[in-house]
Amino acid sequence: MVSDFAVTNPKATPGALVAICCLTLMVAGCGGGGNSTPPPPSFTITASPSAVLISQGSTSTPVQISVQAGNGFQGTVSVNPQGLPAGVTASPAFPLSIAAGSSQTATFTVANTLARGNYNLMFAGTSGTLSSTAPLILTVSGGAVNGPAQDFKKQVIYQIVTDRFFDGDPTNDNPPQSPGMYDSTKTNWQFYWGGDLAGIQQQMSYLAGMGVTAIWMSPPVENIDVVANLSGTAYAPYHGYWARDMQVISEHFGDVNNTWAAFDSLVAVAHQNGIRVIVDFAANDTNPNDGGEFGDLYDNGQPFASYQNDPAPPNNLFHHNPTITNYDDPFQLQYYTLDDLADLNQEITPVDGYLKSALAQFMQHGTDGFRLDAVKDVTWGWEYTLANAAFTAGPTFLYGEWDLGGTTDPTYDDAVQFSNRSGMPLLDFSLANAMRDVFANNGDFHEIDDTISQEDSDFVSPNDFVTFVDSHDLARLLSLNNNQDLLNEALALQLACRGIPVVLYGDEQYLHNDTDGGNVPYNRLWMSSFNTATTAYQLVNQMANLRQANPALAYGTSQQRWINSDVYIMERQFFNDVVLIAVNKSQSTAYDITGLYTALAPAPYTDYLSGLLGGFSIQVNAGTGGNNPVTAFNLGANTVSVWQSSTPAASPELGSLGPRVAQAGLTATLGGDGFGSSMGMVLVGTTAVTVQSWSDSSVTFVVPSVPAGNYSVAVQASGGSTSNALPLTVLTANQVPVTFTVNNVSLPAGAAIYLTGNVMELGSNAQTANSAVGPLLAVPASTTSWFIDASVPAGAQIQFTFFQVLSDGTIVPEGTSHSYSIPATGVGSVSVNW
Ligand code: NOJ
Ligand code: CA
């Protein structure tokens, strides 16, 4: 894009204009009979391109600055950039002297400390009294990422429904193998609208300028080729959740040959700009069993599983159970059908292998992490093995979708156990529901505060939660309450909260469509503008940069410092790093904030958001015990203020360990501060382990061969000082799923039955519900057979046994144990009599 601003001579006086005119007339030798006065000489300057994307620590492509002469202008123009930020150096050095009709190129080198964002420059050219300007937008993206990140806590994720974001390649809009599912008018909400992977790539400057460091894309795999006609409506799988072949890329999002080219290209450009790529991966099901392709699944183009022609048990590739009606029933959740989606039977080797190899293939193509769809609905034990398979395939980050109403939801305890034992963080539905109630329904801030404290005491690693306010499955906040101030306030708080924040595409453009309450599909709007000037876009940029700069957001603990139904003042603290955020969501009431204490050191603090949401400065005074009084202030209605300070660590401070659950030989990553520049040691328990890489803020090490169990991990700097510790569960070996069945058990009413055994994964023979595996589920149509699918060490020879927990807590042990040889690969099953 070339922009040019016409000029003229703003300083010329009427007298000078007359003089130039006379001169021109004389040169032209006009006899005085003409009455057209030729315009005076002038010039314009242009910069091409007018926008460049530069990764931190690198140099831009050349920008050509040209001088176009007008009306015989023949001078030389001196060009200077205005608004060049500190941290950017130009080559050659400015000013440039550019002769009329010619051009020069310049490149810009960006320091790796310059914050991500859009910087508006203006080239000013002058020649005598003439001048002209040309704008240039420098978008500074993150430094190139190299290798996968296991520590995602400093990331800000941007969620994209690929079909609805940007059409970068019209040739895939209506592909030949799945035609007639595209609506160019974008009025049929159930059809494809043309967005694709090339489109995401083409918007890299927009994404980078917003400061986001990861994108989560809707499932990019090939989906069904024909519409599913359901209850009289034709549905196309524009959302990507109706897989047909998980081993190839959709022809609607990539190319018509289903190759990986567009995916690979997007990953390369994203990584070049410091942006991680997260793929939404649905392991629960394939596609509707009642229309379209009736659940069928292909493996790289070859038929793999037919729902309607499925082998009989035990070789069935699908479960053929009714639709889930009770979302609190563990058996229904794991083995029934989610809506009408053909439910895969992960407990047989071909399906297990298909899903794990599909995920591994995405890793080979550079995928940095996975959002695992519907983890509440897939066999839980099998999913532990999926997580382990992913971590075994290479460093990665996973988070699961376990839908919860809140911390009193009947499956909340199952979610806690699932996340803590598998090492897989979850999307934070409880917090999202509290946030949505507070910001859309004028709920009380105690809801948010109570949720955070409950979850933080139950989950091993609350900073690994993936937080959200809006999602592709929920009506947008603006549909619930069309108030942009409240959306800004919700985003600001979410971006300061513990957990890795996700921003749904379009929230930063205040997108919403309120048809049917704004529910699906009306929340999946076309991204109609890419305006980088909105308040929300700038807010995300600033909070994302703060997350990079101040470890309190990524690694800190959370503390409520002041609260009423309208006001929430929350502090995040990681050693000497502190962020304090104050939110007043009231539309009309300002509050006097007295009696506020903070861990910020005594000093004045300005608003980190520079007043973007009405923030201001505060004065912190000397107190005791990390509780420093803040001079009373008035917090106006609809205000967010952020105060912060970050101090380089003098000794190692450990904030992150991933994966938290791993077997010997896997690489694990530690994140924190003050590890020092020279290599020290990593201690797993008391064992010093092999360090693979070392920097002041990140260390990777190899999980050692130690007896399976729970360990504390700490970093010891080369000078000898040792960090705080974080928990690591060392597994016996890589994991495979085994279905354990026990027969001949008539359980008394209110009793439950559990599995234990002589490996850590089964609870090391402990006969307590908290350590063992279970409770077991009833085998369908039986009253005396019980089963569970458990994640156990591949190739191990084990002893296992069962015990009952009666309603009064009495333990009834089986009293005997069984041997089993766990397969080295694939899946296993074993059935015994009590
Ligand atoms: C949850 C996803 O987020 C939703 O969009 C999808 O339809 C279902 N899982 C089924 O895959
Ligand atoms: Ca397209």
Amino acid in the structure at residue 460:
V
Cβ-contact 319, 337 below 8 angstroms: yes
Q: Is the pLDDT of residue 12 over 50?
A: no
The residue whose CA has the least distance to atom 7 of ligand 1 is: 241
Q: Is the pLDDT of residue 2 over 80?
A: no
Confidence (pTM):
0.95
> What are the pLDDT digits (tens) for 37-66?
888 999 999 999 999 999 999 999 999 999
Q: Catalytic site residue 245?
A: no
Nearest to 191, CA basis, from 204, 179, 209: 179
Pure H helices in 294-348: 330-335
Atom of ligand 1 nearest to the CA of 241: 11
What's residue 612's pLDDT? 98
Cβ-contact 252, 343 below 8 angstroms: no
Cβ-contact 396, 148 below 8 angstroms: yes
> What are the pLDDT digits (tens) for 619-644?
999 999 999 999 999 999 999 999 99
Atom of ligand 1 nearest to the CA of 338: 10
DSSP 205: H
Atom of ligand 1 nearest to the CA of 377: 9
From the CA of 243, the nearest ligand is 1
Burial 130-158 (b: 16+ CB within 10 A, else e): bbbbbbbbbbbbbbebeebbbbbbbbbbb
Looking up tokens 């950039």 gives: 81
For residue 581, the SS3 value is: strand
CA–centroid distance, residue 535 to ligand 2 (Å): 29
What's residue 35's pLDDT? 67
Which one of 196, 377, 401, 409 is the catalytic residue? 401
Cβ-contact 240, 232 below 8 angstroms: no
Atom of ligand 1 nearest to the CA of 239: 5
Q: Rounded to whole angstroms, how far apart are CA atoms 191 and 227?
A: 9
DSSP 732: S
DSSP 595: S
DSSP 518: G
Question: Would you place residue 474 in the very low, low, confident or very high pLDDT band (cuts 50, 70, 90)?
Answer: very high
Residues 6+ apart with CB under 8 A from 587: 483, 485, 637, 638
From the CA of 194, the nearest ligand is 2
CA–centroid distance, residue 315 to ligand 1 (Å): 27
CA–centroid distance, residue 373 to ligand 1 (Å): 6
CA 477: distance to chain centroid? 19
Q: Is the pLDDT of residue 682 over 50?
A: yes
H or E element in which residue 456 lies: helix 446-458
Average pLDDT over residues 292-309: 98
Pairing outcome for strands 157-160 and 500-504: parallel
Question: Would you place residue 833 in the very low, low, confident or very high pLDDT band (cuts 50, 70, 90)?
Answer: very high
Atom of ligand 1 nearest to the CA of 472: 5
> What are the pLDDT digits (tens) for 131-142?
999 999 999 999
**Measured CA distances, 634 to 205, 365, 443, 630, 641 (Å):** 39, 52, 22, 12, 12
CA–centroid distance, residue 162 to ligand 2 (Å): 10
Using only C-alpha atoms, the chain has a radius of gyration, in whole angstroms, of: 31
Cβ-contact 112, 56 below 8 angstroms: yes
What's residue 34's pLDDT? 53
Q: What are phi and psi of 150, to 5 degrees?
A: -95, -20
Average pLDDT over residues 750-773: 97
Q: Catalytic site residue 401?
A: yes
Residues 6+ apart with CB under 8 A from 499: 428, 431, 462, 463, 464, 465, 466, 467
From the CA of 504, the nearest ligand is 1
Residues 6+ apart with CB under 8 A from 834: 742, 743, 744, 745, 802, 814
Torsion of CA 794, 800, 805, 806, to 10 degrees: 140
Atom of ligand 1 nearest to the CA of 339: 10
CA–centroid distance, residue 216 to ligand 1 (Å): 14
> What are the pLDDT digits (tens) for 457-466?
999 999 999 9
What's residue 717's pLDDT? 97
Atom of ligand 1 nearest to the CA of 520: 5
From the CA of 193, the nearest ligand is 2
Amino acid in the structure at residue 129:
T
CA 360: distance to chain centroid? 19
Q: Rounded to whole angstroms, how far apart are CA atoms 350 and 304?
A: 9
> Residue 470, Cβ neighbours under 10 Å: how many?
30
Percentage of the chain surpassing pLDDT 90?
Answer: 95
Residues 6+ apart with CB under 8 A from 675: 652, 694, 695, 696, 697, 698, 699, 715, 717, 723
Q: Rounded to whole angstroms, how far apart are CA atoms 658 and 728?
A: 9
**Measured CA distances, 666 to 388, 688, 779 (Å):** 10, 15, 36
Q: Rounded to whole angstroms, how far apart are CA atoms 792 and 737?
A: 6
Q: Rounded to whole angstroms, how far apart are CA atoms 476 and 520?
A: 10
What's residue 583's pLDDT? 99
The residue whose CA has the least distance to atom 10 of ligand 1 is: 241
Peptide bond into 410 cis (omega under 30): no
> What are the pLDDT digits (tens) for 145-195?
976 678 999 999 999 999 999 999 999 999 999 999 999 999 999 999 999
Atom of ligand 1 nearest to the CA of 284: 11
Residues 6+ apart with CB under 8 A from 212: 156, 157, 158, 275, 503, 540, 544
Ligand 1: lining residues by beta carbon, under 6 Å: 239, 241, 282, 373-374, 401, 472-473
**Measured CA distances, 506 to 31, 65, 489, 663 (Å):** 65, 34, 16, 41
CA–centroid distance, residue 374 to ligand 1 (Å): 7
What's residue 24's pLDDT? 38
Cβ-contact 336, 344 below 8 angstroms: no
Burial 256-282 (b: 16+ CB within 10 A, else e): eebebebbeebbebbbbbbbbbbbbbb
Q: Rounded to whole angstroms, how far apart are CA atoms 545 and 467?
A: 17
Category of 610 on φ-ψ map: left (φ > 0), alpha (ψ -120 to 50) or beta: left
Nearest to 59, CA basis, from 112, 104, 93, 110: 110
Average pLDDT over residues 678-701: 95
Average pLDDT over residues 382-398: 97
Residues 6+ apart with CB under 8 A from 784: 743, 744, 745, 746
Pocket test for ligand 1, best of 373, 403, 502 (most atoms within 8 A of CB): 373
Pocket test for ligand 1, best of 473, 474, 524 (most atoms within 8 A of CB): 473
Cβ-contact 521, 472 below 8 angstroms: no
**For the chain, first and last CA: distance in Å?**
76
Q: Is the pLDDT of residue 23 over 80?
A: no
The residue whose CA has the least distance to atom 11 of ligand 1 is: 241
Pure H helices in 238-394: 261-272, 330-335, 349-364, 380-393
From the CA of 252, the nearest ligand is 2
Copy the structure tokens of residue 302.
Answer: 């070859």
From the CA of 201, the nearest ligand is 2
pLDDT: is 17 or 321 the higher one?
321
What's residue 428's pLDDT? 98
CA–centroid distance, residue 262 to ligand 2 (Å): 11
The residue whose CA has the least distance to atom 4 of ligand 1 is: 473
> Residue 286, Cβ neighbours under 10 Å: how many?
29
Q: What are phi and psi of 77, to 5 degrees?
A: -110, 135
Q: How many residues does the chain have?
A: 834
Nearest to 229, CA basis, from 183, 294, 324: 294
CA–centroid distance, residue 280 to ligand 1 (Å): 10
H or E element in which residue 653 lies: strand 653-658
From the CA of 400, the nearest ligand is 1
Q: Is the pLDDT of residue 33 over 60?
A: no
Cα-based angle 152, 712, 551 (whole degrees, multiple of 5) = 35
Pocket test for ligand 1, best of 241, 468, 504, 524 (most atoms within 8 A of CB): 241
Q: What is the mean pLDDT of the chain?
A: 95
For residue 495, the SS3 value is: helix
Nearest to 617, CA basis, from 579, 643, 646: 643
What's residue 590's pLDDT? 98
Cβ-contact 630, 603 below 8 angstroms: no
CA–centroid distance, residue 386 to ligand 1 (Å): 19
The angle, 0 to 180 degrees and rounded to 10, between the axes of the packed helices 484-496 and 535-549 is 10
CA–centroid distance, residue 58 to ligand 1 (Å): 40
Atom of ligand 1 nearest to the CA of 471: 3
CA–centroid distance, residue 172 to ligand 2 (Å): 5
The residue whose CA has the least distance to atom 2 of ligand 1 is: 373
Q: Rounded to whole angstroms, how far apart are CA atoms 246 and 221?
A: 5
Q: Rounded to whole angstroms, how far apart are CA atoms 691 and 684?
A: 11
> What are the pLDDT digits (tens) for 303-362?
999 999 999 999 999 999 999 999 999 999 999 999 999 999 999 999 999 999 999 999
CA–centroid distance, residue 482 to ligand 2 (Å): 31
The residue whose CA has the least distance to atom 5 of ligand 1 is: 473
Largest CA distance in the chain: 123
Q: Is the pLDDT of residue 22 over 60?
A: no
- The residue ranges of DSSP E strands in 499-638, in sequence order, are 500-504, 557-563, 567-574, 577-584, 591-593, 597-598, 603-605, 618-620, 628-629, 633-635
Which one of 255, 373, 507, 673 is the catalytic residue? 373
Nearest to 682, CA basis, from 712, 706, 707, 660: 712
Q: Is the pLDDT of residue 100 over 60?
A: yes
> What are the pLDDT digits (tens) for 503-544?
999 999 999 999 999 999 999 999 999 999 999 999 999 999
Q: Rounded to whole angstroms, how far apart are CA atoms 767 and 200?
A: 52
Pairing outcome for strands 653-658 and 667-673: antiparallel
What's residue 114's pLDDT? 96
> Residue 737, Cβ neighbours under 10 Å: how many?
27
Looking up tokens 């990681």 gives: 574
What's residue 19's pLDDT? 38
